Structure 1
Amino acid sequence: MENSLKCGQYEDLSPSLSSFEVGMWRIIYEHHPRKLVASWSDDIAKWKSAIQDQYLIRLIVDIYHLGPALFIFCVVARLLRGFEEASTIYLSNKLIALIEHGLASGTPDRLQILVLVGARVLMGNALSWWRSFTAQIDPILSSRIKLYFEERAMEAHVDADYSSSNSQNFDVAPPSAWSTLYAILEAVDAACAMFSQLWLVVSMAGARDGGWTLMLVCFAKVFTDMVMVDHFRPKSYIIQTVNPVYLRMRALYTIATEYTYRRELISGAFGHHLVDEYRHARQTLGDISDEVPYDILPFQRNWANKLFADSIEHLPITFIAVKAILDPRHASLSSFTMTEQVSFSLRHSVSRLSYVMANLYRSLESTRTIYARIDAHEARLKANSNKLRYPLPDKKEQRGMEIEFRNVSFRYPGSDENKLALDGVNFSIKPSSLVIIVGENGSGKTSIANLLSGFYQPTGGEILLDGVNASEYRPGDLREATALLTQEYTLLPLSISENIALGDPYDISDDYRLHEASSLGGSLDLIERLPEKWETVLQPISSVTPMGYLEDGPLKTEMEKIDHYTGISGGEKQRLAASRAFMRLKSGKIKLVIVDEPTSAMDPVAEFELFEKLRAQQVGRTMICVTHRFGHLTKHADLILCVDHGKIVEYGKHDDLLRSDGPYAKLYKVQADGFA
């Protein structure tokens, strides 16, 4: 099927971009041609910048300290491996020349031939052993590098605030560090191979017999490819699917096959409809190919350029042939063989070096990101060390936390600039108060909890804790003084005992406190019913990787048995969350407790019991509960905040708010009527 090529510039594109359509694809790229000299100067400037920034040097120094002997061995191994091809060609050429001379003279030097054959075989075996030995060293150094930078990534990640850690994926750092070193070692290997082969050309052909000319001829193909690739191909481009029928087919297939949509698919009974729609779309699509036709992209070389480049490839042999015609006395079969081998090997080495250097520069960009984040983490730690400790010395004996919102506004990152989750919120909470925040869904209740939890910073206004702006305290101290219990609880891929005990990581081995917290949270019966009880890992990290297609049978059964997931209900998960919260409450460090709809999946009895236990633990602590259910806590609240459209529309105590017959009374009456 022939794909039509449609070039042009779309109105939605930046002026510096061009695009074209091929079949169902739209390719977008920077349309300005790259000049060879400018491209090389850009590359030199980038390398200069990499060295001046010192992040490359920092990487090498860090890796060296992880294993000096391993690092030196890997570098030496790559240096030696770089001479492998040239050494092999040299011995082969000497052997062919000796055999050729013996055949011409009729008296071959048998001993020397056997010596060269033995040397060639011995060298091949030695190189094979060397490659096998070095292949065992790389994984050791690779593991050390990955685990070291994984640790640095963890340090940076756990100390980052919620919004920045959510926007920056630091997980790419550990493999990137090893990739950078590997690219450096491969560059050393490729450079040694190229220069050793260049030396071989000049030395064997002879400087006076056209060795330098032959070297340039061998380079002609490489140079031609570099010029054409640099001039015609953009550094990067993106490919977009623009065929709406094909996009609909992908959506239909995804809904029908992915587990995410399984409940809706089964409960809605629309599976066969999806198949019918897919079949209709496939017929509409016809024979339009879904493969990108790279051979007709406009930045690929045309047939004339390809023909010229292919002709250049034969220049080395042509040069030797012409030289043999002009000077037959110095022509030999070995020279033809050597030229063919070296020209091919040299092209491969230069192309490999070019490819490796491109990968190396991309890896260096990742390395720059790694150290930029490490530096940012260290700068953040230094900045936090200069902040106030919480609690302040004169507030250590204070029971609970004093909170004040002064004209606080907040907008979630990435949301519409005109859409505020909170707008001019003002309220004060006395230490040891029980505060209930009520309101309809989307009113701003959880946004207040998110700000108090330190997940986000206010867009405007200020939040005072014990009379001081919250941003002036060390974030780690505020986290240690706060306990959070929400409806969004994620099971950690650890044992149940650790899931609960991490509520107080400084006393994780106290079995008495662990049982007490589980009892208070209502998870003790669940734990006792599990086969492995406290050691149960409900959602373990995957430890097995299938290789090839696994059919139903003992191997597939064993794989499913190795990584066994234990399913629990939403209510049971919330009991585990409550158990961890009680473990934290019992630590003696907590001054603020934030509770945000933690019982959404619990039955009424379990919900009542949990709130009663939380209220009992509230003594000496400020407790803020976000809820849309009335009855359990509102009658005991010291303060109720009624939120609507990001504003505090009413506040006071339960009885007073009912008498005022305002928004709170209306919400309360709606729920009360539902039970009448």
Structure 2
Amino acid sequence: MESQLRFRGPPSGPPPGPPPDMNKTDTPTPPPGPPPSISLDKLASSSLPFPSGPQPDTPTSPTSGQGFDPTNSATSKHINLGVWDYYEEKAPRLNRVPLVKIYRRMTQGLSGAPFAWRLMKDVVRLAPVLVWFYLACIGLNAVMPAVSLYYSSRMFQVIKDAVEKRNVDSSLLIQIAVARGVSAFVQRACSYGMQRLAPIISLRVRGYFAEYILQAHARLDVPTFDDNEVRSLLETVASDRSGAWEALSESFNIGSIFLELITQALVLFGIIMESNDSLLLVTLSLIGPIASWWSRPIRRPEGAWIAKVNNENYVRMMGLKKVATDRSHRKELVAGNLQEYISQQYHAARAQVGDSAQEFWEARRYHQTKNAGNPIALAMPLFRDLPQIIFALRAIHTPASIPLSLAQLDLVQRNVTAFSQQLENFSHIVEGISYSFQTIESLYSIIDIPNHIPDAPPDALPLALVQDQKVKGLGIEFRNVSFKYPGTSKYVIKNMSFTVKPGQLCVIVGENGAAKSTSLKLILRLYEVDEGEIFIDGRDIRTIPLKSLRQCAAVLFQDFSNFPLSVRENIAMGSPLHAQDTTRIEEAARLGGASQFIDTLPEQMETYLSRPVHDMAGGLGFGQHTLLGRQFNTAKGGWGRKGGKRGGRAQDMEVSGGQQQRLALSRTFMRSNDENVRLWMFDEPSASLDPLAEFNLFERLRDMRGTNTMIFSTHRYGGLTRYADLILYLKDAHVAEMGTHDELMALSGDYAQLYNVQAQAFRQDT
């Protein structure tokens, strides 16, 4: 199938967009065609809920929360939930009226209807035959209850005629019996068809939309990806990949129930018109459902809300719990003999908090359960039995009609009850329709999130490949550059100026936090400078296409990461064009110093250091088990991630920090023979290496330097600085000293002082 995914603009340039219930099918939907344009400001202000707790408890009003003031008792309500102070926006009184609430929810959801319609068309394109057959099943399944009700009423009429006239129309009786049987079979077949088709469509849509979400994530630059608003939207979408299908399923549900209600209402209306008793029956039968509906407490907030912890002992108690249960604190806990102290302190904090020690969602459910009773709810059995009581009183006056009256009562009451239940279901689903449409809108909108770093104009020329090997390296110039990270007010670079000539070896040194790593990130334009200019080969960096700029540079960051892929692919991703070149991958591993430790891995190049999907096992004894070539750690508990009681999952490989860095170096060395590379940048490349490995690494780097420009940031002097054409000593957010090693030593400044401090440890006379 041809992919329908389309992105606006180039990948690096300006960008390319709960829970329903349709037999509980889970799956997302694909977005063929270009998504509608939507600004990030709209995404941030559209009140898309980003819940931290169960979805059903999220606010549903798309305009709620504007100007919400928890301290204003006129517009907000305060409830104490033990260790939580809970404030919620007061809902309009008319929202207590069921039909008014349904109307408001439907009108709120209409703004997202175009996205739902677009999603519907996309799903049909994805699996047209399956979807149309599925919709046919939904439609028939919705009509069948009304058909069954119609023939039940006809059956009752035949029985009534037989009692009153002593005559039975056998042909009509057979027709009714056959029709009832056929309608029951069709309804059953439709339900079966929906159950079989929904998972198939769901899985197809889920896979398709997973690709869409991945591409939407992949195209974002660093500051955009780190933006809190963007992260909230992306995490919401990524954590609920089935949201699109569920939202569409909810739309189908609404249409199905609406069709069912209309057809049943028409049949009930016909029954009422045929008999005065039927009108009385329907009226009496509706009293119970209406009273139940009216008396039900509102379980989800109608607007904005906030919950604040009011007990510091509870906060401390939960902190102690994390210390005891989180793996990241295990070494400190054991080495410090903290077991008894933590247990004692937790017990003391728990005693102070008492029974109020509940997580928010648990405390809220407890409060709702405790306050669920009300006078109408207590009288519900009376309301339900009211029709029988009335007809019992009537039977005293007309005892001969008791059999027919009871049969008619049973027919009408059963169907009115079913009708009211569907109406109640309809109200529940409509309550979430605005959220569902927001889910669809957010899924389509993630592809339109604009990148913070705009690309060069479309007609901008790429960096030229230099044919003269004597001047192959890139020239770099900072002119009065100032920069602070997004969301912060402190400048990490202030009025920085320097020039690295083509082919030079430049070493950036300084104390921790001196912006050495930041300088390298700015050269790759991972962030935009706040003031000043950066020039690459004499061109303003903003006029160079981002793809061309980054294609000319090979970089290793200090805060590198290795991917959750095989060792082979981790290295190969340094140069995707040569990802299938085994010889090149092995050479890169040798240059990075990783060959020796890779040979010791269980599957060598095919080993996953961190598997993104774990093999699962269950029913095992406690301890470690080796099955099918995998090691499993078992733990007692529920099914979840551990695989069940005495179940477990395959363990990840544990490697040292130095081995991790060698692997990252190998990935960088995949471009060692790449003619496009004109700049090599290494940010603390030996931070996790032992002295011998560091010495060998620097030897290899000097050997492969050639005429490329090479920039290092490091806090270790000597290994590189003595060979550098240019040393930049950074201090207080700017270049404090600049020159060669000999020139800076002659200055007897900060560089010379730190160099001597490091050299002193190796002198025999100290």
TM-score, L = length of structure 1: 0.86
2:593 is the counterpart of 1:522: yes
Task: Find the counterpart in structure 1 of residue 666 from structure 2.
Answer: 579
Q: Following the alignment from structure 1 to structure 2, what is the Cα–Cα distance between the partners of residues 143 and 366?
A: 18
Return closer, same or farther for 1:473/1:576 CA change in 2, 3 Å cut-off: same
Task: Find the counterpart in structure 2 of residue 181 from structure 1.
Answer: 248
Task: Find the counterpart in structure 1 of residue 499 from structure 2.
Answer: 428
- Structure (1 or 2) with the greater helix fraction: 1
Q: Deviations for 1:475-513, whole angstroms, at most 9, x for unmatched residues? A: 222222221212333232222111111111011111111
Residue among 586, 596, 605 paired with 1:534: 605
Task: Find the counterpart in structure 2 of residue 284 from structure 1.
Answer: 352
Residue among 542, 555, 558 paired with 1:487: 558
Task: Find the counterpart in structure 1 of residue 675 from structure 2.
Answer: 588
Q: Which amino acid aligns with 1:46?
A: Q
Q: Deviations for 1:523-582, whole angstroms, at most 9, x for unmatched residues? A: 1112222232221122112244678x8753899967854734221111111111111100
Q: Following the alignment from structure 2 to structure 1, what is the Cα–Cα distance between the partners of residues 740 and 225?
A: 38
2:232 is the counterpart of 1:162: no
2:281·2:413 contact (CA, 8 Å) conserved in 1? no
Task: Find the counterpart in structure 2 of residue 441 from structure 1.
Answer: 512
Return closer, same or farther for 1:219/1:12 CA change in 2, 3 Å cut-off: closer
The residue correspondences of 1:3-152 to structure 2 (distance < 5 A) are 13=71, 17-31=76-90, 33=92, 35-36=94-95, 43-51=105-113, 54-92=114-152, 120=180, 123-152=183-212
Q: Following the alignment from structure 1 to structure 2, what is the Cα–Cα distance between the partners of residues 134 and 617?
A: 64
Structure 1 unmatched ranges of 5 or more? 1-9
SS at match of 1:205: helix
1:409·1:458 contact (CA, 8 Å) conserved in 2? yes
2:713 is the counterpart of 1:641: no
Q: Which amino acid aligns with 1:588?
A: E
Q: Following the alignment from structure 2 to structure 1, what is the Cα–Cα distance between the partners of residues 249 and 510?
A: 57
1:233·1:300 contact (CA, 8 Å) conserved in 2? no
Task: Find the counterpart in structure 1 of residue 536 from structure 2.
Answer: 465
Task: Find the counterpart in structure 2 of residue 346 from structure 1.
Answer: 419
Q: Following the alignment from structure 2 to structure 1, what is the Cα–Cα distance between the partners of residues 760 and 369?
A: 70
SS at match of 1:587: coil
Q: Following the alignment from structure 1 to structure 2, what is the Cα–Cα distance between the partners of residues 544 and 40?
A: 46
1:74·1:185 contact (CA, 8 Å) conserved in 2? no
Q: Displacement of 1:28 after TM fit?
A: 1.8
1:550·1:556 contact (CA, 8 Å) conserved in 2? no
Q: Following the alignment from structure 1 to structure 2, what is the Cα–Cα distance between the partners of residues 264 and 384?
A: 50
Residue among 261, 267, 270 paired with 1:194: 261
Return closer, same or farther for 1:201/1:553 CA change in 2, 3 Å cut-off: farther
Return closer, same or farther for 1:232/1:623 CA change in 2, 3 Å cut-off: closer
Q: Deviations for 1:399-453, whole angstroms, at most 9, x for unmatched residues? A: 12222222222222233x2x22222222222222211111111122122122223
Q: Which amino acid aligns with 2:343?
A: V
Which has the bigger relative contact order, CA under 8 A and spacing at least 6? Answer: 2
Q: Deviations for 1:219-259, whole angstroms, at most 9, x for unmatched residues? A: 66666747986899523534343222222222112211121
Task: Find the counterpart in structure 2 of residue 391 from structure 1.
Answer: 463
The residue correspondences of 1:538-549 to structure 2 (distance < 5 A) are 538-544=609-615
Task: Find the counterpart in structure 1 of residue 714 from structure 2.
Answer: 627
Q: Displacement of 1:639 after TM fit?
A: 1.3
Q: Following the alignment from structure 1 to structure 2, what is the Cα–Cα distance between the partners of residues 316 and 470?
A: 82
SS at match of 2:435: helix
Return closer, same or farther for 1:216/1:659 CA change in 2, 3 Å cut-off: farther
SS at match of 2:716: coil
Q: Following the alignment from structure 2 to structure 1, what is the Cα–Cα distance between the partners of residues 746 and 453?
A: 51
Residue among 688, 694, 700 paired with 1:601: 688
Task: Find the counterpart in structure 2 of residue 674 from structure 1.
Answer: 761
RMSD in angstroms over aligned alpha carbons? 3.9
Q: Deviations for 1:162-214, whole angstroms, at most 9, x for unmatched residues? A: 12123334362532221222212222222122222212211222267486787
Q: Deviations for 1:87-123, whole angstroms, at most 9, x for unmatched residues? A: 4444555556656766788887889778766765665
Q: Following the alignment from structure 1 to structure 2, what is the Cα–Cα distance between the partners of residues 395 and 303?
A: 86
Which shifted more, 568-577 or 160-169? 160-169
SS at match of 1:287: helix
2:336 is the counterpart of 1:271: no
1:39·1:230 contact (CA, 8 Å) conserved in 2? no
Q: Displacement of 1:618 after TM fit?
A: 2.4
Return closer, same or farther for 1:337/1:298 CA change in 2, 3 Å cut-off: closer
Task: Find the counterpart in structure 2 of residue 5 from structure 1.
Answer: none
1:95·1:116 contact (CA, 8 Å) conserved in 2? yes
Which shifted more, 218-227 or 619-628? 218-227
Task: Find the counterpart in structure 2 of residue 242 from structure 1.
Answer: 310
Q: Following the alignment from structure 1 to structure 2, what is the Cα–Cα distance between the partners of residues 625 and 554?
A: 44
Q: Following the alignment from structure 1 to structure 2, what is the Cα–Cα distance between the partners of residues 503 and 465?
A: 23
Task: Find the counterpart in structure 2 of residue 414 from structure 1.
Answer: 487
Q: Deviations for 1:316-350, whole angstroms, at most 9, x for unmatched residues? A: 77887899899996962232112221222122212
Task: Find the counterpart in structure 2 of residue 565 from structure 1.
Answer: 652
Q: Which amino acid aligns with 1:459?
A: D
Task: Find the counterpart in structure 2 of residue 7 from structure 1.
Answer: none
Q: Following the alignment from structure 2 to structure 1, what is the Cα–Cα distance between the partners of residues 686 and 348?
A: 46
Return closer, same or farther for 1:13/1:675 CA change in 2, 3 Å cut-off: farther
Return closer, same or farther for 1:409/1:528 CA change in 2, 3 Å cut-off: same
Q: Deviations for 1:135-181, whole angstroms, at most 9, x for unmatched residues? A: 22112211221222222222222221012123334362532221222
1:203·1:211 contact (CA, 8 Å) conserved in 2? no
Which shifted more, 557-566 or 484-493? 557-566
SS at match of 1:590: coil
SS at match of 2:497: strand
Q: Which amino acid aligns with 2:675?
A: G
The residue correspondences of 1:495-506 to structure 2 (distance < 5 A) are 495-506=566-577
Percent pairwise identity: 28
2:622 is the counterpart of 1:552: yes
Q: Following the alignment from structure 1 to structure 2, what is the Cα–Cα distance between the partners of residues 662 and 57?
A: 69
Q: Which amino acid aligns with 1:456?
A: Y
Return closer, same or farther for 1:204/1:560 CA change in 2, 3 Å cut-off: farther
